[in-house]
Amino acid sequence: MYSAPQLAIKYLCYYLTASNGKGHGIHSPFIFQFITRVLNDHTQYKEYDKVEKLRQQFLNDRTILTIQDFGAGSSVSKTNQRSVASIAKNASKPKKLAQLLFRMVRLYQPSSILELGTSLGITTAYLSLAKPDAKLFTLEGAGEVAALAEKNFLVSGFQDISVVKGNFDDTLSVVLEGLPTVCFAFIDGNHRKEPTEKYFSQLLAKINNESVLVFDDIHWSREMEQAWETIRNHPSVRCTIDLFFIGIVFFRQEFHEKQHFVIRY
């Protein structure tokens, strides 16, 4: 993983060189719609409150959980004992990004959603509220964390979320076998080159023209930047959007030529 100063320099370069996020000079109607309805939609949807209350509850919870880490680990904690509050603070997506994912799902209305990396389920809750009748599978390896997320989904009335426990290396193929297609996937765990490329190629077998894949932390490390490069260059990929903290991948044939956007967010 890059050090904090390295990341800060990378972020500054991104910020100075990215398109300004207003849509000026963007000719694709699809991307223009993404900018206006996803990036720049500042509506305070009522669903936001429900999830942010849940986040606040976790932030006040000092219970200690034992974490079994299958991924690239935490950049903050090096022990396998962590409080719920610390997980909520450091692992859950901040509301700016989680709400962006909510707006994407709200706009594209995918019928099947997959999340790799549930943690406490903050983003899962946003995804579910954006499309309550979607088939939603969220995968998590840390048993105690997954159990807590699952318990909270039930208590908070999220009946239709399937929490799949175990290493993605074992569970992803099983979930994919049962799905005819994957319309939306958020890959937010195991931030290393080879696993990320492997999950991408597994997902590719189930994509359709409208599928959307979102990769987290694409600039977090050299390995993740290499994985992002592999993904961007894949022949099936027609368009990508780099928002620095996440990378979004589209497969729509309407993009006759591959297009890569870097947009300030």
Answer yes or no whether residue 117 interacts with ligand SAM by CB under 6 A: yes
Task: Give the residue, chosen from 35, 141, 148, 220, that forms a contact with ligand SAM under the rule CB under 6 A.
Answer: 141
Query: For the chain, what percentages of helix, strand and coil (3-state, to nearest 5) are there?
Result: 45, 15, 40
Task: Give the residue, chosen from 190, 196, 211, 221, that forms a contact with ligand SAM under the rule CB under 6 A.
Answer: 190
Answer yes or no whether residue 21 interacts with ligand SAM by CB under 6 A: no
Q: How far is CA 24 from CA 27, 29, 35, 51, 204, in A?
A: 9, 12, 10, 33, 32
- Shortest distance (Å) from residue 92 CB to ligand SAM: 4
Answer yes or no whether residue 93 interacts with ligand SAM by CB under 6 A: yes
CA–CA gap between residue 23 and residue 35 (Å, rounded): 6
- Shortest distance (Å) from residue 255 CB to ligand SAM: 28
Residue 35 or 145 having the CB closest to ligand SAM? 145
- Shortest distance (Å) from residue 16 CB to ligand SAM: 27
CA–CA gap between residue 75 and residue 92 (Å, rounded): 13
Residue 239 or 265 having the CB closest to ligand SAM? 265
Task: Give the residue, chosen from 51, 145, 214, 224, that forms a contact with ligand SAM under the rule CB under 6 A.
Answer: 145
Answer yes or no whether residue 119 interacts with ligand SAM by CB under 6 A: yes
CA–CA gap between residue 32 and residue 26 (Å, rounded): 6
Answer yes or no whether residue 137 interacts with ligand SAM by CB under 6 A: no
Q: Please count the residues of this chain forming the interface with ligand SAM, following the rule CB under 6 A.
A: 22
CA–CA gap between residue 114 and residue 117 (Å, rounded): 10
Maximum CA pair distance of the chain? 52
User: Which residues from 71-90 bind ligand SAM, rule CB under 6 A?
Assistant: 71
Helical pair 122-130 and 95-108, crossing angle rounded to 10 deg:
30
- Shortest distance (Å) from residue 264 CB to ligand SAM: 22
Task: Name the residue with tokens 């409150």.
Answer: 49
The total of other beta-carbon atoms located within 10 Å of residue 126's CB is 27
- 258: amino acid identity, one letter: K
Which residues contact ligand SAM (rule: CB under 6 A)? 69-71, 91-93, 115, 117, 119, 122-123, 139-142, 145, 167-169, 188-190
